[in-house]
């Protein structure tokens, strides 16, 4: 008798958000029936929505306002959680076997257990914000008003309420787990969401052009890619590196992929602005023909660009790595990043990539030039990286592991 | 040793403790509070021995906030406490002891002070079918609020807990209300009953209270709670009283407490009037001429008199924060009839320190009450054992040294 498809509800503020790709994989690879409930649709939904049924939810109250005082951040989250609750209360989606949640600093599943009391909720958690450390806080806290640290302390309330509401807390990174107070570590499951090898395997073609520009056969392509080309992902570091590499070698092209508009709530300095142009101008790179600002690429273009890259640089600050890292490693690219715990979970230095001391731009430059000077010598790093991804992070295996951890009926688990 | 206690109100949980630590240990005890309480009010000794500092409420009006605003208001209070600490460079204690609940804003103390912070873990609300949501027997208020608010109410408590070095809860029951992950960080240490005040007082009859005379042959049944609300079972007490008065004509019911609601959904269930008023109407106490006296908030000495005079003290709370009134009644040697709930069982071994009956079993409550009222002398041993239980385990003499030791260890980083 065929297994019934697993019925899944993914809930988060934006679509496709963090869960879209995973939910889409569950739909396309496991035959699951997946509804993605969200408030806002991001402009780049693209392939991540394949196989999903998107359903929007409205928000009311303070969540309708473009900006709210930091003291009312949790209230805004309640509005999101209530919007999801209200939509499902009025238009029930039943039956349901599993709920995936992600609050993204707002709210998602907080009230759903009242509607689905027996359905397990797997909640993807965000890093616990230290008042003065991690992500952008090391640099911003000393120069921001005192309320900055208070806001960061209080912004953890939604994560704590989520976890205490009976969900299965899940992180894709041990580093994220370890940002939480120690009392929470044992309950947080750390499991990778997996890398889609269809976007990172042998079938991916090498890009010969991107964004209307031709990539020459002898061009050395150094790539920065992230959802947003912002400080969290280290675009400022990358620009300084690019400045040096472009001066050092005439065959280098530095490509920047990512939305120049900063839309991360934790980036309070640059939120809602596009500082990339200013930084490029400050370095005198605004007219440089070998610095390519490509904006966002669609989900087919990015793998081709990564596959063609001689070096993929991840100069981000202390944060959960971008998915680009897994993709680049799966494609056998040489990756170069800061030697920080979140990257060490993926990159064993000098075996699966290159790590240099955080903030040491000289060391990063030397490492990058080494790869560009002698690609063959560094190719084994890419090969090892690809093997490691296949062995540990193949999405299908990760999905199986993830589902196996949940209290689902066996019949459904194997669907 | 300089301890700074932080709370919304004074004296609340910390006033008497601060006095004892100052008096017996010579510690400098300061409090940082928003307001002075009237239930109970601070004693002259508290005002004399304890340094009282005030933080100003960022809110000027007392209009109740909708529940989604509570956390924002709490953060504004936390910020006010922080500003207050920053404006007093002389206030640099060795240890902070702060209430960790919604009304006691302690989450940002670590931004101003680098000493250890102990959080007072009074209670962690359950998401359903407990404490605030236990009274399924009452008219429903707003079912959505009742199901959603408990999922949000603990945000301040969680923030305070994760910001503090350690914590303590007054009873095991209250400790166990917290998520298991935190329990190893929470000690159990009761605040301490002033057994020199709450003791079997030799109150002679006739005794006049609120214009009613208690003669030698009057059987006095008492009930006490800060607010006469559903979680404390005021309505259940009235039902019991209405039944008992049908059986005996010598009863006088004395209620200490105000028509306030401090917890739960009573104002949603009974809009436009107090729960206590509604409960009195439901029990038809005016029509039936129920012999009952409502004292409102009373001075602790008056309460001690009433409890000492009681032939029976009734405690019909839902499972929630264990009321001081129960400790006080036991300390006064009253025979207690209590709801058979876990927090009560922590204090009362049935038949030894009091009588317990199921919370909603009126017939059992009537039967047990009548048994005691029929033969108070025959049940005096209950009060004696209750008094002994309090003096041996919950008195200031026992509790303050424990708390002092805990504070010293924490301040020393042990």
* Minimum Cα–Cα distance from B75: chain A residue: A71
pLDDT band at A205 (very low <50, low <70, confident <90, very high): confident
The CA–CA distances, whole Å, from B4 to B40, B55, B85, B88, B401 equal 21, 13, 11, 12, 17
Instruction: Give the best residue of A164, A165, A179, A188 to mutate against chain B (max B CB count within 10 A).
Output: A164
> And the tokens for B205?
């009859």
User: What is the length of chain A?
Assistant: 415
Average pLDDT over chain B, rounded to whole? 94
Distance CA(B356)–CA(B314), nearest Å, equals: 10
Give how far Cα A19 sits from Cα of A16, A34, A97, Å.
6, 11, 17
B71, B107, B182: residue with CB nearest A75: B71
- 3-state SS, residue A23: helix
Cis peptide before A12 (omega within 30 of 0): no
Give the CA distances from residue A280 to residues A74, A286, B115, B173, in Å, rounded to whole numbers and listed in that order: 36, 5, 46, 61
**Tens digits of residue pLDDT in B157-187:** 999 999 999 999 999 999 999 999 999 999 9
- Contact status of A174 with chain B (Cβ, < 8 Å): no
Which run of H or E residues covers position A252?
Answer: strand A252-259
Cross-chain Cβ contact B159/A150 below 8 Å: no
Residues on chain B touching A164 (C-beta within 8 angstroms)? 154, 158, 179
**Structure tokens belonging to residue B246:** 């049908």
Cross-chain Cβ contact B111/A150 below 8 Å? yes
> What average pLDDT does the segment A232-249 reach?
98
Q: Which residue from A minimizes the CA distance to B183?
A: A183
End-to-end C-alpha distance for chain A, whole angstroms: 11
Mind listing the pLDDT tens digit for each residue in B48-84?
A: 999 999 998 888 777 778 888 889 999 999 999 999 9
* Mean pLDDT value across residues B149-162: 95
Burial group, residue B272, by CB count within 10 angstroms (0-12, 13-18, 19+): exposed
For residue A412, what pLDDT is reported?
53
What are the φ and ψ backbone dihedral angles of B255, each rounded to 5 degrees?
Answer: -115, 125
Q: Which two tokens stand for residue A335?
A: 């990756």
Question: A-B interface: how many C-beta pairs under 8 angstroms?
Answer: 80
Confidence of residue A201 (pLDDT cuts 50, 70, 90): low
A350-370, pLDDT tens digit by residue?
Answer: 999 999 999 999 999 999 999
Region B247-270 average pLDDT? 92
Which of A61, A79, A114, A146 to mutate to probe the B interface, most B CBs <10 Å? A114
| Whether pLDDT at B103 is above 80 | no
Q: Is A161 helix (H, G, I), strand (E, B) or coil?
A: helix
Say whether B158 and A160 touch across the interface (CB within 8 A).
yes
DSSP state of A57: -
- Collapsed DSSP state (helix, strand, coil) of residue A41: strand
Residues of B in contact with A156 (CB under 8 A): 159, 162
Complex prediction ipTM: 0.93
Query: What's residue B124's pLDDT?
Result: 97
Q: Does A84 touch chain B (CB under 8 A)?
A: no
A181 close to B (CB below 8 A) = yes
Q: Indicate whether A413 pLDDT > 60.
A: no
């Amino acid at each position: 008798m065929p297994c019934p498809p697993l019925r899944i509800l993914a809930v988060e503020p934006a679509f496709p958000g963090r869960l879209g790709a995973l939910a889409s994989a569950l739909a396309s690879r496991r035959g699951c029936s997946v509804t993605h409930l969200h408030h806002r649709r991001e402009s780049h939904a693209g392939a991540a929505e394949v196989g999903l049924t998107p359903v929007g939810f409205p928000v009311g109250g303070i969540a309708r306002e473009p900006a709210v005082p930091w003291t009312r951040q949790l209230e805004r989250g309640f509005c999101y959680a209530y919007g999801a609750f209200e939509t499902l209360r009025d238009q029930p989606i039943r039956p349901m076997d599993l709920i995936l949640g992600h609050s993204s600093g707002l709210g998602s599943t907080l009230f759903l257990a009242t509607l689905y009391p027996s359905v397990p909720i797997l909640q993807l958690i965000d890093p616990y914000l230290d008042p003065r450390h991690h992500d952008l806080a090391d640099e911003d806290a000393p120069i921001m008003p005192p309320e900055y640290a208070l806001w960061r302390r209080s912004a953890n309330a939604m994560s704590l309420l989520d976890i205490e509401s009976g969900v299965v807390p899940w992180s894709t990174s041990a580093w994220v787990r370890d940002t939480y107070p120690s009392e929470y570590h044992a309950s947080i499951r750390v499991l990778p969401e997996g890398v889609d090898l269809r976007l990172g395997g042998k079938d991916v073609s090498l890009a010969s052009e991107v964004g209307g520009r031709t990539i020459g056969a002898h061009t050395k392509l150094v790539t920065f890619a992230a959802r947003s080309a912002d400080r969290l992902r280290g675009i400022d570091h990358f620009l300084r590196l690019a400045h040096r590499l472009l001066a050092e070698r005439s065959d280098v092209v530095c490509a920047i992929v990512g939305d120049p508009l900063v839309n991360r709530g934790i980036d309070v300095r640059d939120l809602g602005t596009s500082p990339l142009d200013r930084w490029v101008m400050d370095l005198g790179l605004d007219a440089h023909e070998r610095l390519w600002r490509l904006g966002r690429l669609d989900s087919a273009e990015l793998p081709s660009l990564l596959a063609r890259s001689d070096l993929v640089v991840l100069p981000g600050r202390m944060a959960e790595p971008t998915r680009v890292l897994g993709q680049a490693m799966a494609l056998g690219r040489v990756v170069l990043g800061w030697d920080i715990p979140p990257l060490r979970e993926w990159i064993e230095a000098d075996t699966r990539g290159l790590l240099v001391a955080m903030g040491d731009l000289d060391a990063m430059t030397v490492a990058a030039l080494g790869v560009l000077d002698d690609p063959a010598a560094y190719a084994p790093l890419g090969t090892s990286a690809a093997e490691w991804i296949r062995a540990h992070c193949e999405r299908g295996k990760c999905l199986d592991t993830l589902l196996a951890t949940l209290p689902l009926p066996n019949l459904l688990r194997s669907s | 040793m300089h301890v700074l206690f932080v709370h919304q109100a004074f004296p609340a949980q910390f006033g008497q403790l601060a006095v004892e630590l100052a008096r017996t240990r010579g510690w400098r005890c300061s409090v940082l509070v928003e307001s002075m309480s009237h239930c109970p009010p601070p004693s002259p000794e508290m005002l004399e021995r304890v340094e009282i500092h005030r933080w100003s409420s960022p809110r000027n009006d007392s209009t109740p906030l909708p529940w989604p605003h509570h956390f924002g208001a709490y953060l504004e209070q936390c910020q006010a406490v922080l500003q207050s600490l920053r404006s007093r460079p002389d206030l640099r204690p060795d240890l902070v002891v702060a209430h960790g609940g919604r009304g006691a804003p302690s989450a940002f103390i670590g931004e101003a002070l680098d000493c250890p912070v102990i959080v007072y873990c009074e209670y962690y609300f359950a998401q359903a079918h407990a404490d605030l949501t236990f009274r399924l027997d009452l008219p429903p208020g707003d079912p959505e609020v009742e199901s959603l608010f408990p999922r949000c109410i603990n945000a301040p408590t969680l923030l305070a807990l994760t910001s503090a070095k350690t914590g303590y809860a007054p009873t095991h029951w209250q400790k166990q209300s917290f998520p298991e992950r935190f329990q190893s960080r929470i000690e159990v240490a009761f605040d301490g009953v002033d057994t020199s005040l709450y003791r079997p007082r030799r109150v002679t009859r006739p005794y006049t209270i609120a214009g009613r005379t208690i003669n030698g042959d009057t059987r006095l049944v008492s009930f006490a709670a800060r607010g006469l609300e559903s979680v404390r079972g005021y309505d259940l007490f009235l039902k019991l009283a209405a039944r008992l008065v049908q059986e005996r004509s010598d009863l006088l019911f004395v209620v200490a407490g105000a028509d306030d609601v401090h917890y739960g959904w009573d104002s949603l269930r009974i809009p436009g009037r107090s729960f206590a008023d509604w409960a009195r109407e439901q029990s038809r106490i005016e029509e039936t001429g129920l012999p009952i006296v409502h004292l409102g908030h009373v001075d602790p000495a008056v309460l001690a008199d009433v409890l000492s005079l009681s032939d029976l003290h009734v405690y019909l709370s839902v499972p929630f924060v264990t009321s001081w009134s129960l400790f006080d009644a036991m300390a006064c040697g009253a025979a207690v009839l209590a709801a058979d709930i876990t927090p009560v069982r922590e204090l009362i071994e049935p038949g030894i320190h009091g009588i317990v009956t199921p919370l909603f079993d009126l017939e059992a409550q009537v039967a047990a009450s009548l048994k005691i009222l029929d033969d108070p002398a025959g049940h005096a041993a209950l009060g004696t054992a209750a008094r002994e239980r309090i003096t041996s385990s919950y008195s200031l003499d026992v509790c303050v040294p424990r708390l002092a030791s805990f504070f010293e260890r924490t301040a020393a980083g042990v």
